[in-house]
Amino acid sequence: MLIIPFTSTEADLQNAGGKRLNLARLAQAGFPVPPGFIISTDAYRAYVETNQLQETIIEALKDLPYDAATHGENESTQIRKSFAMESMIPDPEAVIRAAYTALSSSPVVVRSSATTEDLPDLSFAGQQDT
């Protein structure tokens, strides 16, 4: 599943990430959450696999010390450039465009969310930018 509506009960930590899972839970509970959707981890994985980016990621990070949480800016920039050079693959792009179009022309908010953040016993707040 590439797109998960906020109203779907199929969102979980593994396919949606913490922030997006919580938005889905709020929407399902009847709270006033604006219309929206989740781009699943399946869509991300398909992009990485199709564009053969896993090797790029591994190569960029292989010599980064495990305790270098405040380092890695150069490696991050290298990975980001590799992602930006590639094109979206047709199926996920079409599904994402259709879901976005269904929201009409109202303003939208884009949030990053990882499957290993906002866990019950761990948090990685502020580690990503969107």
- CA–CA dist 110, 28 (Å, integer): 20
At 38, give phi and psi (nearest 5°): -110, 130
**pLDDT tens across the length of the chain (130 residues):** 888 888 888 988 888 887 888 888 998 899 998 888 888 888 888 889 989 999 999 998 888 877 766 677 888 888 989 989 988 877 788 888 899 998 877 777 777 766 665 566 666 555 555 5
Sign of CA dihedral 46, 110, 38, 41: positive
Residues 6 or more apart in contact with residue 21 via CB below 8 angstroms: 11, 12, 13, 113
